[in-house]
Structure 1
Amino acid sequence: MPDDWKECTLNSICDLIIKGITPKYTENSDQLVINQKCVRNHQIDLSLARPHTPKKVNEKWLKYGDVLVNSTGTGTLGRAAQVQFIPNNLTVDSHVSIIRASKQEYVYFLGLWATSHEHDFEMLQTGSTGQTDLPRERLKQMQIILPSESILSSFSDVIKPIADIRIQKQQESQRLSLLRDTLLPKLMNGEIDVSQVRI
């Protein structure tokens, strides 16, 4: 290990390591809760998230760059993904842990580290088969090798433009989907006449 790198605990480079909320589900809400099914293959599938009764969530509202780790259940415990989009009215349930970096320079490194250490998360579990749990205190005390500030900064400088482009494309895709959903019904019922359009 280079002299200017150091070994530290996960807790020492994070502002927040906490499990999510116990939601009260409803169909009439714009607030979504991510569950364990949503976290798979280092991705977050919001199509599997569920709406819940609006409440004040405070620090458990997700932020860009948060790392999510499934924290209960054999076969799902340990799966990790990073929030690589701008979340809105979004949190996680109590079966998922939120890990939030304390510095911007740590965000991209932490995401890469977490998704490559899923097996280590799994090894920290307690409980019996089917009732396994990833205790927050064990998560906090995980050892991590932290590169030098200059390396972290250089890494962020490379990754951030890529991440920014991804966010722009996601937002553009959302706008196009909204436009499609608005126009298609009008085309189908004849509100918009396209008979004179040449293709």
Structure 2
Amino acid sequence: MSYNFPISWQQIPLEDALDALIDYRGKTPKKVGNGIPLITAKVVKSGRILPMDEFIADEDYESWMVRGIPQVGDIVVTTEAPLGEVAQIKDANVALAQRIVTLRGKVDFLENNFLLFLMQSNFVQNQLEARATGSTVKGIKQSELRKVILPIPPINEQKSIGKILSDLDDKIHLNNQINQTLESIAQAIFKSWFIDFEPVRAKIAAKQAGQDPERAAMCAISGKSEAELEQMAKEDFAELQATAALFPDELVESELGEVPRGWEVSTIGEQTQTVGGATPSTKNDEFWDKGNNHWTTPKDLSNLTDKILLNTDRKITDAGLKKISSGLLPKNTVLMSSRAPVGYLALAKIEVAINQGYIAILPNMKYSAEYLIQWCEANMAEIKGRASGTTFQEISKKNFREISFFCPDDKVVVSYTKTVKTLYDEITSKAKENQSLINLRDTLLPKLMSGEISLNKNMGSIDD
């Protein structure tokens, strides 16, 4: 792609546009269990800094950060493994690890909000790639990074471009946060009902104390006190009461320990249909050219922020589909990567064929997709524990199918599904909205960064 920047834009080397370039390569900090969060290359991804899980001690901060202290608004760029991931520092008091450089635009000349997106543009990313060295792992030296050419519009135009793209990014991030909260609620309910048996234990404790078991279960299910139950709307109270009545008031011994009375122990293979997939020959164009069927590999799940699959990187033809014995799987199939790595999860909201890196679990009349994906999440430690392999870990369908599976009362599963389906419908809606926002952002980014779309002084915001 050729770039013809507007005449009012300057093109200058990166080093001449900065007030600070902070580089901690060549130094390895001593890490501790908690303290000052450490920004490492692995947590800089897709324009955001992911939650940090490595730290340096508070008392080591000043002695470590002698090359410069990062500030809120600074831009971090990964210099290798991976090269060219970009994000903006949102919180003060963070430390920088190796393979990270921090950029700070020159005051009144280069806005950091604009720089964030400029560094993600194809124009800059192509330069990073061209100036990188290394065969196995590509990296860029600071001396080469400084030479990268930046197209810089007038400051007011930078502010407008930065605001438009930041508003889109912030909306995407907000949707991600909402979806994480909704997913956490679904997980918490599953754990309470089907792992810890809290409604059952509440009934048992209430009986022993001479109290109302049903009221105790209602409190356990809702998280409300008895006084708060009295404040509930009549219909909501009745629905909660009906749910509480579904749980027994006794635990009995089983081969897996205590389980609620009436619940059976089985295996996931006996209760659901599980299938694998395949990869039609990639050398045969008949299977791939102008493909019209979604076909997924675990790579499609690796970049999902929500456990919702709405699209795939590749599609196959009808001829290619015939080479996969499991065929085109229906919407709401639960997908779990079975190797490299084991444990990516997603609900397919599209009809999709799968490659050999998956175990797909089909919902049925009793066990919904929402129930099954949470079952997988809750049992992930055992799933991974059953994997084996020398080159990479893999769990076979046989080993997966043998995993023990509690069979609750049908009505309890129906009640759970009714509760969490609303959550997953909202998660899916937010994921679809984000897909549209990401497409819009990625369409605007090169056009704004090349000057193809010009902004006037009245532009610069994205309405909800």
Q: TM-score, normalised by structure 2?
A: 0.35
Deviation at 1:81, TM superposition (A): 1.1
Compared with structure 1, are the counterparts of its residues 167 and 69 closer, same or farther at alpha carbon in structure 2 (3 Å cutoff)? closer
2:300·2:313 contact (CA, 8 Å) conserved in 1? no
Compared with structure 1, are the counterparts of its residues 114 and 22 closer, same or farther at alpha carbon in structure 2 (3 Å cutoff)? same
Compared with structure 1, are the counterparts of its residues 44 and 107 closer, same or farther at alpha carbon in structure 2 (3 Å cutoff)? closer
1:24·1:53 contact (CA, 8 Å) conserved in 2? no
Q: Secondary structure of 2:261's match?
A: coil
Compared with structure 1, are the counterparts of its residues 131 and 86 closer, same or farther at alpha carbon in structure 2 (3 Å cutoff)? closer
2:370·2:420 contact (CA, 8 Å) conserved in 1? yes
Tell me which residue corresponds to 1:35: 298
2:297·2:354 contact (CA, 8 Å) conserved in 1? yes
1:6·1:145 contact (CA, 8 Å) conserved in 2? yes
Give me the whole-angstrom Cα distance separating, in 2, the residues matched to 1:156 and 1:72. 29
2:301·2:346 contact (CA, 8 Å) conserved in 1? no
Give me the whole-angstrom Cα distance separating, in 1, the residues matched to 2:456 and 2:302. 45
Note if 1:13 corresponds to 2:271. Answer: yes
1:125 maps to a residue whose letter is: A
- The ranges of structure 1 where at least 4 consecutive aligned residues each deviate by more than 6 angstroms after the TM superposition are 183-187
Give me the whole-angstrom Cα distance separating, in 2, the residues matched to 1:106 and 1:4. 20
Tell me which residue corresponds to 1:157: 418
1:1-199 to structure 2, matched below 5 A, reads 1-14=259-272, 16-25=273-282, 29=291, 31-35=294-298, 38-39=301-302, 50-54=313-317, 55-56=320-321, 59-72=326-339, 76-77=341-342, 79-83=343-347, 86-87=349-350, 90-103=352-365, 105-126=367-388, 128-130=389-391, 132-180=393-441, 188-190=451-453, 195=456, 197=458
Q: TM-score, normalised by structure 1?
A: 0.72
Compared with structure 1, are the counterparts of its residues 27 and 38 closer, same or farther at alpha carbon in structure 2 (3 Å cutoff)? farther
Compared with structure 1, are the counterparts of its residues 146 and 80 closer, same or farther at alpha carbon in structure 2 (3 Å cutoff)? farther
Deviation at 1:159, TM superposition (A): 0.4
1:67·1:99 contact (CA, 8 Å) conserved in 2? yes
Deviation at 1:139, TM superposition (A): 2.0
Identity across matched positions, percent: 17
Deviation at 1:102, TM superposition (A): 1.6
Q: Which whole-Å deviations, capped at 9, do the CAs of 1:167-194 have from their partners, x for residues lacking one?
A: 112222233344455667777435xx76
1:98 maps to a residue whose letter is: A
Compared with structure 1, are the counterparts of its residues 104 and 36 closer, same or farther at alpha carbon in structure 2 (3 Å cutoff)? farther
- Larger radius of gyration between Structure 1 and Structure 2: 2
1:80·1:118 contact (CA, 8 Å) conserved in 2? no
Question: In angstroms, what is the RMSD of aligned CA positions?
Answer: 3.8
Deviation at 1:97, TM superposition (A): 1.1
1:24·1:52 contact (CA, 8 Å) conserved in 2? no
* Structure 2: tracts of 5 or more residues without a match: 1-258, 283-287
Compared with structure 1, are the counterparts of its residues 136 and 198 closer, same or farther at alpha carbon in structure 2 (3 Å cutoff)? closer
Higher relative contact order (CA 8 A, sep 6+): 1
Compared with structure 1, are the counterparts of its residues 37 and 118 closer, same or farther at alpha carbon in structure 2 (3 Å cutoff)? farther
2:277·2:325 contact (CA, 8 Å) conserved in 1? no
Tell me which residue corresponds to 2:141: none
* Structure 1: tracts of 5 or more residues without a match: none
2:308·2:346 contact (CA, 8 Å) conserved in 1? no
